[in-house]
Structure 1
Amino acid sequence: MKKAFTGKYGYYHLLSGHDFLLKPVQQIQEYYENNTGKVFLAVDRNPLNKPSMLARIDQYNINTANRHITMLLNRFTTILQNIIGIHRIKNTPDEKYFGSVK
């Protein structure tokens, strides 16, 4: 990361192994060059208070290539984490917010 910040770029786009480019790299680069200075993130100003959404960030989740296996593993690990007391957001500010890419 230190090397990245010594470069000539104003923005960096982090892509994970789950990201798949739908457009050619040159077209993506041109798009960002034509939209310099724009922020492509949105944050909801309302506190996150749905228990189902809070559960998604309160405990660790497992992802696999198979959706059904993922669901079964996450049900099991959620129960196990509740039993042993794993709660990632226990000591964080009371209000939680969420955001997404525009």
Structure 2
Amino acid sequence: MFTRITAIILLLLASAFAESAVDPTRPLNYSSGPQTISSSLNLESILHSKNRKIAIINQQVLGEGDKIGDIKVTRINPRSVQITQNGVARTLSLPATQVKTSPIDSQQDK
């Protein structure tokens, strides 16, 4: 009887600790708070391939046509993202030092 009660208590404690554990695959700068748009836009990353075009702007993962607040992503290019904000078109670009290509992409360019 004692071992059953001990086992149940250990299972409950393990599940309580698992809920508060940090996900090791979560990005370091991840925030699960509400989605807010700051006045300055920060283009952090672009994933661009034949099958997928994704931009990370202000820690928000966006695809073409997606909106956050009054910002709409109109086009995602390999090194820049075109957006529309309050009817005004803008282009956000990655610094040249941040652009990385895969060997597959480099071979296709030749």
Q: TM-score range by the shorter chain?
A: under 0.3
**Higher helix residue share:** 1
Report the TM-score when normalising by structure 2: 0.24
Q: Which has the higher contact order (CA 8 A, sep 6+)?
A: 1
Larger gyration radius, structure 1 or structure 2: 2
**Higher strand residue share:** 2
Report the TM-score when normalising by structure 1: 0.25
